[in-house]
Amino acid sequence: MINRTTVAFFFMGILNNLGFVIMLAGAKHISEGGTALVFISNTLPGLICKLTSPYWFDRVSYFHRFKAASILFSLSFIVVGVFSRLGEGDDSNDLSFSVVMQLLGVALGSTAGSLGEASLLALGGKADSYGVGELENFSDSDDDDNNQREGGEVPEDDEGHLGEESQSTEKSLCIAAFSSGTGLAGVAGFGYIYLFTHIFHFSLSDALFIALLFPFLYWKVFKLSLLEYTVNDYDDNETTALSRQQFSNNNTHLEVFDESSTTDDFTDNPNTRNENQIFSIDSGSFSDDGAAATQEDDNTPIQNMSFMERFRTVLSLWPYMIPLFVVYFSEYALQSGVWVSIGFPVDDEHQRSSFYIAGNWMYQAGVFISRSSGAFFIFPMWVLWLMPFLQVLNLVVFYIIAVHHYIYNQILFVGCFYAGLLGGAVYVHGYGRISKDIPLAKREFALASASVADSFGIILADFCGLFIQSCLYQANNISGAVVSCPI
């Protein structure tokens, strides 16, 4: 179902990932011999953000998170743009001051992208739990007080119960729309850099200054279309009166707080509001083909869980996190290590740069197509586990071809497209399964927490990519690698 909400998640997916992809596309402009350093700077800060998110996301509102992400995106483009211009004409492969500052700017964008991605996955899971579009209908009611609230509420029917669509755990349309948007961001990001640097012959800094429009649009889309899904939460004090409505959803018992019996405990100010969980839960297990079961007597809301309880909950998501880790490690080892070392001919720096851009564009096209599939179906767990190992095989084949030049022509772009299909499918179907399998009360937390797995895979691939690139440069008698091949 296409409506304002799913369209908003789609565009947020594009805008959230554009900065990440633009930096990847401009990696060889930033550091020719150390492309993987750009990849690392584009991943490591985001990994730290995602790794710590389970322990502080419930204390910082969505409003503040997206505001911070918008500012960081802007600073990233400014810093990289300014120091890219200052470093023009420096052809050395050393880590000059301008390169270091550009890497710092890339790191700011990495933090923004991961903060936004983890938040949007969680918010998408929340919106899907309510039923796509139901909050839009609810906000059109005649209740002036409700119409004035910037935060959304759980929709109810005439009898005071949650609507049938809200109880569904089968739909992940918002997550699918966001995933599809992130896939299109890859195509758009590489296309953007290619258009400005290869067609219009602009410098990277000029392209980045023009890109400052994107953080502005990012913030406006969130405020205009998604702020209503950041549910009003209650003040944590003893005088708060909460009436509770109970209903059953399969084997899950939920208690939903009703705002109608409160007075001034809820705030209309998004700056002071927390999006803590409003559900408590008694659950038997996740779905039959999903993750491990939760404790049957675990009624602890996320915001009341201890550090170790949250840590154990994150570890219980391993059936989803391992496929994400493996597929991302393989595809980013391809991008940061192998594809930067291929060109027709390989000793031509311009041709290597052209293959890197075109190969990544084909990869991103595959990602977009496969990530868009989540709106129609969700793969079973065995398929989710099969695809990462196919990606590992893809990495091995590409490495052998890069060394020995078997089938060394444009047919390799088909392999790049195939890598994108595998990577995008694991992403959307992995998070789709989490949204489908995990009990409602833990779903936001699980979606935000599991996103650390792909970042772990990317950062490990980026470190390995430094040495993969150096070994392939050595095998092809190319100079300029920033590290020495260990073999």
Residue 468 has pLDDT above 50, yes or no: yes
User: Of the candidates 441, 442, 460, 440, which has an alpha carbon nearest to the alpha carbon of residue 450?
Assistant: 442
Rounded to an integer, the average pLDDT of 13-17 is: 96
- Residue 140 is predicted with a pLDDT of 46
Taking the C-alpha atoms of residue 73 and residue 79, their distance in angstroms, rounded to an integer, is 10
Rounded to an integer, the average pLDDT of 219-245 is: 60
Structure-model confidence comparison of residues 161 and 205, the more confident one: 205
pLDDT-derived band at 29, boundaries 50, 70, 90: confident
Mean pLDDT, all residues of the chain: 80
**Tokens 């060889």 -> residue:** 28
Structure-model confidence comparison of residues 31 and 474, the more confident one: 474
- The answer for 4, left when phi > 0, alpha when psi is -120 to 50, beta otherwise, is alpha
Asked if residues 269 and 286 have their Cβ atoms less than 8 Å apart, the reply is no
Rounded to an integer, the average pLDDT of 464-479 is: 92
Rounded to an integer, the average pLDDT of 6-20 is: 96
Second CATH level (architecture) for the domain 4-232+313-475: Up-down Bundle (1.20)
- pTM, full prediction: 0.75
Structure-model confidence comparison of residues 245 and 396, the more confident one: 396
Q: Mean pLDDT lowest for which of 22-31, 92-101, 357-366, 458-467?
A: 92-101
User: Of the candidates 12, 317, 309, 321, which has an alpha carbon nearest to the alpha carbon of residue 175?
Assistant: 12
Residue 248: phi and psi, rounded to 5, are: -110, 140
Please say whether the dihedral angle defined by the alpha carbons of residues 352, 417, 368 and 427, taken in this order, is positive or negative: negative
For 418-448, write each residue's pLDDT tens digit. 999 999 999 999 999 998 898 888 888 999 9
Q: Mean pLDDT lowest for which of 82-86, 110-114, 196-200, 293-297?
A: 293-297
pLDDT-derived band at 92, boundaries 50, 70, 90: low
For 248-307, write each residue's pLDDT tens digit. 333 333 333 333 333 333 334 444 344 333 333 333 344 444 444 444 434 567 777 888
- Residue 440 is predicted with a pLDDT of 82
For 142-186, write each residue's pLDDT tens digit. 344 444 334 444 444 444 443 443 444 446 789 999 999 999 998
- Residue 93 is predicted with a pLDDT of 56
Taking the C-alpha atoms of residue 483 and residue 352, their distance in angstroms, rounded to an integer, is 19
